[in-house]
Structure 1
């Protein structure tokens, strides 16, 4: 039996049920349809080179849309160089850059990159992507419904559907949200409230993970040095940066270079700006759902939340010019607060 427009729409209506997209349906049925379409694309392993990896392989809802691995594993079991960033806070945190080094400035650009990255989903280019999308006749009908102005399906429509879906993935209201937005002090016990005071004050966490906004952003959208990975490349930094500049001049995509050159991946923001001052700088991630997103840092080198606190306290002390000297009790309280985000 062939796919009809009605049956295709019913299929996507089912996809909406129980999803974050359902919240948008009343405001814009067409946007809701795009979100449901994006969800289908996000979960479809047929859009990868080996037919086994989807976006959802690395962005798992129960882990705040991370994967729990040190670094991502893509097609044919290929191991990347970067820890999978959470998607749960992209919209609520008002992200202005994407990926650890901020190589993309719009989500519409960012959602396509993994599909054509050789270490992630492995498609050769956008042409192959569209060929795979077009193999599903039922989905073509929904594309036509979701994008009535488009004469053909292109990467722009795939990007728009994935973008709308990712923007719908806001994390659930947290205990800290209830504490701040509803004026309810009960969600944070005394230990967590002590941790909040440390986060704002002695720990200097809020210098970068801002408590501004409603709901709070928990990021400054800036780039900072955490020390991870630089020791391994410090001895040959001049030759490495020169090689990066040469590959950049040859037009090789930053994402492909970072994914296939582990040493280059440690250079962070330098890969985008080629400014020596940006060596080792990485984008500040939002801390929403941080208790679910271990391991931590751009390379997944910090296995637990306790270890991440120790690392951050150390480097905050270096930046301040004096050690922070947080006690075990204080570190435990800080962890208790982070678990409420």
Structure 2
């Protein structure tokens, strides 16, 4: 049965949807910086193109067995995926017809938006960085705080969030496409029913489940091509699993390297942003204002208010989860900056400097694995070279341009670097105050 299921999925992903991929240079001209926006202006609408197409499973490094467990073959019917792709770029799902899912998840930017914080309807700036949709099918939970489990649930919340797409309700968004004859025909073909809310969300999720992204130089290296990555990147891979301690969060276990998704499906407080906020009063306020399990309330607080810094605590109400956020996968990380849940860091050198000093001295909820690393400058360069090697073939040109940009910036601006702390002992953390 497992082998039959695998064959179905491979046929769906590889043959039914596969488009013969042009060379990377033909697909990817480099995304560049996102355009500046006037006050109240929504970002320009991205257009679908080759990079928006469902990905083939014929990729070096594609995790066939894992994919069998996370995808039901029936969800990947071609008509459903095609409908979902169209809906993903549909601005009529927003309150004023100016933004779509692709506004924050632009295929040209590896399904991110290139901005520190996501910008939605009426130019409203949220509290969190837009994560990539690539490989989201493998996430056990969705959003930075894991407030929903499925891609169907994830597709729904931005449509009604007042800082994202701003529709009054899912039904309100649906009403603006329900009379469209093309949509009527596509819903009937995909689901055998008229236009409806459940099928709309199912179609968007089906499209997102085809966005598996592998086939990076690192994948070719793991597959046996010793020349696929540089000597620097190979040293970075060794550091990743040892001295740099990255594997403690970016692997399924602490003891075994993970060359697939680079995540642990868990949540951690790594010292980002917490000192800018009065976290304890915010946690107390959250307890009062958010009914437990009220997902819509959590979604609004996470995107529109200072409570966003509470992270996973908004979902679990556990003190240990204060300011904890989901471990993101690292594939295409070079082209999905700025970094962290608040987009507060511009380069991978900044990211490595942050971890190198074990940031968070006065943060009582700092993850236990955060500590000074004593990485030298050449070792930090090796780490960045490894992270750059995780860039999929479709984004090679963008990756090369972004690496050059970040490298140049790192030569003149390293705001996170603290060499003394990086080579010092781990400081004693304060005890968490009572809520």
> Contact 2:55–2:210 (CA<8 Å) still a contact in 1?
no
Q: Which residue of 1 aligns with 2:160?
A: 116
1:86-105 correspondence runs (5 A): 86-91=132-137, 94-105=138-149
Q: Which residue of 1 aligns with 2:120?
A: 74
Aligned counterpart for 2:225 among listed residues 165, 178, 184: 184
> Contact 2:139–2:265 (CA<8 Å) still a contact in 1?
yes
Q: Which residue of 2 aligns with 1:260?
A: 304
The answer on 1:62 being equivalent to 2:95 is no
Provide the rounded CA distance (Å) in 1 between the counterparts of 2:232 and 2:289. 50
Closer, same or farther: CA 51–88 of 1 in aligned 2, 3 Å: same
Report the Cα offset of residue 321 of structure 1: 7.5
SS of structure 1 residue aligned to 2:375: coil
Report the Cα offset of residue 16 of structure 1: 10
Greater Cα offset, 117-126 or 170-179:
170-179
Report the Cα offset of residue 69 of structure 1: 0.2
Q: Which residue of 2 aligns with 1:332?
A: 381
Deviations 1:72-112 (A, max 9, x none): 10001111111000111213xx2100101110011111111
Greater Cα offset, 251-260 or 55-64:
251-260
Report the Cα offset of residue 170 of structure 1: 1.6
The answer on 1:274 being equivalent to 2:317 is yes
The answer on 1:240 being equivalent to 2:289 is no
1:1-341 correspondence runs (5 A): 20-21=53-54, 23=56, 31-91=77-137, 94-148=138-192, 150=193, 152-180=194-222, 182-210=223-251, 216-234=260-278, 237-249=279-291, 251=294, 253-261=297-305, 263-315=306-358, 319=368, 323-341=372-390
Report the Cα offset of residue 18 of structure 1: 8.0
| Higher RCO (Cα < 8 Å, 6 or more apart) | 1
> Contact 1:21–1:36 (CA<8 Å) still a contact in 2?
no
Gaps of 5+ in 2: 1-16, 20-47, 58-72, 362-367, 391-435
Q: Which residue of 1 aligns with 2:424?
A: none
Gaps of 5+ in 1: 1-11
Closer, same or farther: CA 136–184 of 1 in aligned 2, 3 Å: same
> Contact 2:355–2:370 (CA<8 Å) still a contact in 1?
no
> Contact 1:34–1:161 (CA<8 Å) still a contact in 2?
yes
SS of structure 1 residue aligned to 2:268: strand
> Contact 1:22–1:32 (CA<8 Å) still a contact in 2?
no
